[in-house]
Structures are given as structure tokens and as C-alpha cells.
Amino acid sequence: MTSQAPPRSIHQLFDLTGRTAIVTGGGTHLGTAFAESLAELGAHVYIASRRRELCLEVAEQFRDRGLQVTGLGCDATDEGQVAAAVGQVMADHGRLDIMVANAGGHRTTRHPPDGPLDEFYAAFEMNLVSTYVCAQEAAKAMLPAGRGSIITIGSIGSRLAMNPRTYTPRFQRSGAPYLATKAGVPNLTRALAAEWGERGINVNCICLGQIPPPGVDPEQVEIFRTMNALQRTGVPQDVKGAVALLASDAGAWITGQEIMVDAGWSIW
């Protein structure tokens, strides 16, 4: 099908005024940056995580800046809780335009061959199950409207193994379960893009490089810096452009893609 839309300026293409978004894991670090980006472009953003009180506090800080942000409590691995979060957005606004399935993580205490199996199951739930649940519940709201953007979050570990020799003993590096489950996120993204593309939903994956949170060992931060092509440490604002592109009409002709936002770590 070919359609001719009236020309719009680049500012109009990125404008999210009147749209709504959910960002899971939105109360800390990169989730907060994703939420900030969408809210600054005019969207009403709901930040959701298991840490409800934190989300409420962060949302209030955003509102103090004039941004439209609401905090929610939501376990992204629980279908009922995600459905309730989507339901609240629909009740408040009658539409859900953007889902950023950011919630994820790892719990690594020992590495192969001594890696506990329960840590593998936990990584599977945190990274793949949560992404699948959030995408499905968002799609249920988006499909009747024939529009929407679902953004999943991968990692350089979606594509690469991590060299154990590049981590200091003080840093809790991601283990094989995290890498394996994050590797599934881009292909899940492609599968969902194939399922829903004809019905107006774009599904894309942002694979992030090392953006250390506060408190990480400075020696480890310096190692991360020297391992990327740009030779600088990543900061949360470095993720804002990619999510803005994929959530807005500026990225309307992009779907099923895996975008590396990693300062060139993955090019060598």
C-alpha cells in the first residue's frame, strides 16, 4: 500500500505532543533518560517499575520541570500488572503510542562451569519474559488503533561475548545467562516486527554499550572508555536520541532493526 502524507518539517516529525508512553524500569539510570527524552518531546510518559515509590518520586521531579510524567508500580514480568499499567494509560488518555520495554538485568554470583541454574532462569525472566510481556500487552492496545512504536532494549552483549580479562575484581560483570538472554531480544524484536508491521506497529531494538551508573570502580570506567571507538565514557543522555527517533514519526519507516548505541564498541 502506498500513501502520500503531507510534507512535515524535522521538528514536526520528532514532535510527540498528545502521545503517551510507558517506560518500564523508568525510575533509574537509563530508564530515566528514555523517559526524559520522550517527555521533552511532548509525550505524557508513565514510568513503571517494581519500585513504585521511586517512580512516584522521580515523576514528581520531572513534573517540577514542566514535563508530563506519571509514576506507577509494575513488575514487568507479570502479565496482570503490565496489563493494569496499560489499562491505566488507556483510561487516562484513550491511547498508548509508545512502549519502551527497558526493565531487565542480571544476578550473577558465579560463572561457568559453576553458574547456578536459578540465575539463568532469573535472567530469562528479567530480560526475555519481561520484554515479551510488555510488547504483547502494548500491542493489544495499539493494534485496534493501527499505530504504535514498541522499543526493546538489548546490549552489546546481545551480539558479543564479554572478555573476562577486561573486568576488575571489584566489578560484578554480566554472566553467560545475561548475555544469552539479551541475545534473544533482537530476534524477538524482529519476530514481533514481522507479526505486526502490516497493522501499523513498529518494533525496534536499541542495543546499548557500557554506560556506567554512579559508584562504579573508576578503574573499570576507564577500561570501558578505552574499549570503545570514540574513547569517551558513555552517559545517560547518550541514549536519548535513539529512543526519540524510534518513538517518533521521524523513525516511521524503521522496523525490525537492531541499533547499536555503543560508541563503536561493537565495530572491532
Do residues 83 and 137 touch, judged by C-beta distance below 8 A?
Answer: yes
pLDDT at 260 over 60: yes
In the prediction, which pLDDT does 174 show? 86
Question: Tell me: the pLDDT tens digits for 16-65?
Answer: 999 999 999 999 999 999 999 999 999 999 999 999 999 999 999 999 99
Of 90, 80, 185, 170, which is closest to residue 131 (Cα–Cα)?
185
Question: Tell me: the pLDDT tens digits for 12-27?
Answer: 999 999 999 999 999 9
160 to each of 200, 253, 265, how far by Cα in Å?
32, 27, 10
178-181: long-range contacts, CB 8 A cutoff, minimum separation 24: 178/105, 178/106, 178/108, 178/123, 178/127, 179/155, 180/120, 180/123, 181/123, 181/124, 181/126, 181/127, 181/128
64 to each of 56, 59, 171, 227, how far by Cα in Å?
12, 9, 35, 38
Question: Tell me: the pLDDT tens digits for 163-198?
Answer: 999 899 888 888 999 999 999 999 999 999 999 999
Question: Tell me: the pLDDT tens digits for 87-141?
Answer: 999 999 999 999 999 999 888 889 999 999 999 999 999 999 999 999 999 999 9
Instruction: Give the pTM.
Output: 0.96
In the prediction, which pLDDT does 2 show? 53
Do residues 247 and 38 touch, judged by C-beta distance below 8 A?
Answer: yes
Report, as residue numbers or ranges, the catalytic residues.
178
- Amino acid identity of residue 230, one-letter, is L
In the prediction, which pLDDT does 5 show? 73
Structural domains in the chain plus CATH codes: 10-260 (3.40.50.720)
